[in-house]
Amino acid sequence: MSGDGQAWEPVIGLEIHVQLKTRTKMFCGCELSFGDPPNVHTCPVCLGLPGTLPVANEGAIHFGLMIGLALECDLAPRSIFHRKNYFYPDLPKGYQISQYDEPLCRGGRLGDVRIHRVHLEEDAAKLIHVGASGRIHGADASVVDFNRGGTPLVEIVTEPDVRSAEQAREWLNLLRTTMRQLGVSDVNMDEGSLRCDANVSIRPAGSAELGTKTELKNMNSFRFVQRGIEAEVERQRGLLESGRPVVQETLHFDPVSGSLTSLRSKEEAHDYRYFPEPDLVPVAVTEAMIAAARAELPELPAARAQRYERELGLTTDSARQLAHRVELGDYFERALAAGDAQAQPLANWVGGELVARIGEADPARSRASPEAMARLVAMVAARTVSTGAARQVLEELVTAGGDPGEIVAARGLGAMGEGDELTGVVAAAIDANPEAAEKIRSGRAQAIGPIIGYVMRETKGRADGGEVTRLVRERLGV
């Protein structure tokens, strides 16, 4: 089959590891740290010394339950830890304590993606390869920093509900916001407190069967996740369209070259010899523990977006845009609380003009205070400043701060009313654009552009576009 014109549907499942910011490690009393000198946060337990035993961290279980509730999972009344056995120098016991067939949480949903399971485990230590390449191959030596070893992790596994690389990135953003909102993790990919693997397969559009999947390992930014998935979907499409099968394997995406390299095939896959961890007792989750976790749940992005739609009447897009970035939503709500502006125009200004100027930065740190933002939007609504002029005001608010009213006054950006000044400029604009005027008279209203442009240039944007249009049409008798 040539496959020409065949439409393919990607089917993507995500596995996310989130480091919990408990005070201490998963199974010992060592404090969590980042960036400290190597091997200062260690003890006999997290070094895996002979004779030591793990003791489960109640705080990590509490955070796990909060995550389970936030993701609308079923919380298991009884879950157990397993040992996942394999040899590696970053794993001092020769096994990782994880959860296997009886995890803390099952089922659930976040946004439009279903959650398969959420479980607790311990992080490995950090291997540092000394030598030119910085990677294990070609290193002169490898040394181990056990500070990270034993850090509590939750692993969140989704159902294969993601249908595009872009959707994967957007959903990961929502997950990250949710975790940040819960206060359970720093969710910082650079520091490794959030890590993502993706299971990718493709199938003919409309097919219900799943194709053979591959696993993309440890991509260290959401952008790389998106690019890695895109590259893998393309690779699989190329294979299938040339009549070759996709082989089940684990792949590494190199963001520099954009290439995918095989880490191991299915045949080389580890046999982890999972068995119940005999050194730990089952985790028995009580109603009191669930109540305690529920009591600490803040409003989560998905719920916040719903509230914006339902109570403030925001559009779905606006609601999600603000709610899925906690700091943006917080800024929006402070501005709304100032009482000057209407919700939807304010949302448009915060989500559009403000974000265009501050990018990913926290708006709370910008010089444009939420109160000033609210006043500016109110002035636009009251037509005391034109949209164009308001953009100039915002520009100054973001760079220098201040009060929008004072900026307008100081820079003479106040809206021009029906006064003679605007009428004169409109007349001059019509005179300068006779062709446009003729077209408007003959019923082609969209030809008004050059005339409005003339007016805006002459008034430095102070004129209100709607008012100008009204005056032009009035003068041309249409």
Partner 1 sequence: MSDILALTAAETVRRVGAGDIAPAEVWETYRERAAKDDLNAFTWVADAPPEEHGGGSAGMALGGVPVAVKDLFCTRGVPSQAGSKVLEDYRPPYTATAVSRLERAGAPLLGKTNQDEFAMGSSTENSAYGPVLNPWNRERVPGGSSGGSAAAVAAGLAPWAIGTDTGGSIRQPAALCGVVGLKPTYGAVSRYGMIAFASSLDQAGPFARDVTDAALLFRHMVGRDDRDSTSLGPEEEVALPEAEDLAGIRLGVPEELSGEGIEPGVLEAFNDTLRRAEGLGASVEPCRLEHAPHALSAYYLIAPAEASSNLARFDGVRYGLRANGDDGLLAMYTRTRAAGFGDEVKRRIMLGTYALSSGYYDAYYGRAQRVRTKIAEDFRSAFERFDFVVTPTSPSVAFPLGERTSDPLAMYLSDYCTVPMSLAGIPAISIPNGRSQGLPTGFQIAGPAFSENRVLAAAHALERAIGFDGAEARA
- For the bound state, the minimum distance from the C-beta of residue 133 to partner 1, rounded and expressed in Å, comes to 16
- For the bound state, the minimum distance from the C-beta of residue 362 to partner 1, rounded and expressed in Å, comes to 42
- Identity of the residue, 23 or 470, whose beta carbon is nearer to partner 1 in the bound complex: 23
In this structure, what are the phi and psi dihedrals at residue 414, rounded to the nearest 5 degrees? -60, 145
As a whole number of angstroms, the distance between CA 3 and CA 5 comes to: 6
Choosing from 35, 87, 140, 359, the residue that interacts with partner 1 (CB under 8 A) is 87
Amino acid 432 reads A
Residue 280, number of CB atoms within 10 A of its CB: 17
As a whole number of angstroms, the distance between CA 194 and CA 35 comes to: 16
Long-range contacts of 141-148 (CB under 8 A, 24+ apart): 142/89, 143/38, 144/89, 144/90, 145/38, 145/39, 146/38, 146/39, 146/41, 146/42, 146/46, 146/47, 146/92, 147/33, 147/36, 147/38, 147/39, 147/40, 147/41, 147/42, 148/123, 148/124, 148/192
As a whole number of angstroms, the distance between CA 156 and CA 73 comes to: 11
- Identity of the residue, 125 or 300, whose beta carbon is nearer to partner 1 in the bound complex: 125
- Identity of the residue, 82 or 213, whose beta carbon is nearer to partner 1 in the bound complex: 82
- Identity of the residue, 67 or 144, whose beta carbon is nearer to partner 1 in the bound complex: 144
Could you identify the residue written with the tokens 């992790």? 153
CB-CB contact of 210 with 199 (8 Å)? no
- Identity of the residue, 85 or 342, whose beta carbon is nearer to partner 1 in the bound complex: 85
- For the bound state, the minimum distance from the C-beta of residue 136 to partner 1, rounded and expressed in Å, comes to 9
- Identity of the residue, 11 or 97, whose beta carbon is nearer to partner 1 in the bound complex: 97
Q: What are the CA-CA distances from residue 372 to residues 6, 173, 333, 389 (Å)?
A: 53, 29, 13, 15
Count the residues of the shown chain that bind partner 1, applying the rule CB under 8 A. Answer: 28
Q: At what angle do helices 58-70 and 287-295 cross, to 10 degrees?
A: 70
| Interacting span for partner 1 (CB under 8 A) from 91-99, 371-379, 393-401, 467-475 | 91-99
- Identity of the residue, 86 or 418, whose beta carbon is nearer to partner 1 in the bound complex: 86
Q: Does 89 bind partner 1 (CB under 8 A)?
A: yes
Q: What are the CA-CA distances from residue 29 to residues 25, 54, 219 (Å)?
A: 6, 10, 30
Choosing from 23, 78, 94, 427, the residue that interacts with partner 1 (CB under 8 A) is 94
- Identity of the residue, 125 or 233, whose beta carbon is nearer to partner 1 in the bound complex: 125
Radius of gyration for the alpha carbons in the chain, expressed in angstroms and rounded? 29
109-110 and 105-106 strand pairing: unpaired
| Interacting span for partner 1 (CB under 8 A) from 89-97, 232-240, 245-253, 387-395 | 89-97
| Interacting span for partner 1 (CB under 8 A) from 93-101, 103-111, 195-203, 303-311 | 93-101
CB-CB contact of 193 with 30 (8 Å)? no
Beta bridge partners, 122, equal 152
Within positions 47 to 76, which residues make up the interface with partner 1, using CB under 8 A? 47-56
- For the bound state, the minimum distance from the C-beta of residue 6 to partner 1, rounded and expressed in Å, comes to 36
Choosing from 259, 275, 292, 362, the residue that interacts with partner 1 (CB under 8 A) is 275
Could you identify the residue written with the tokens 């010394």? 49
Quick note: the x/- pattern for partner 1 over 106-145, rule CB under 8 A, is --------------------------------------x-
Within positions 30 to 49, which residues make up the interface with partner 1, using CB under 8 A? 44, 47-49
Q: Computed from CA positions of residues 218, 221, 225, 231, in that sequence, does the dihedral angle turn out positive or negative?
A: negative
- Identity of the residue, 46 or 468, whose beta carbon is nearer to partner 1 in the bound complex: 46
Indicate the length of the chain as a whole number.
478
- For the bound state, the minimum distance from the C-beta of residue 148 to partner 1, rounded and expressed in Å, comes to 16
Quick note: the x/- pattern for partner 1 over 235-274, rule CB under 8 A, is ------------------------------------x-xx
Question: Residues interacting with partner 1, by CB under 8 A?
Answer: 44, 47-56, 83, 85, 87, 89, 92-95, 144, 271, 273-275, 278-281
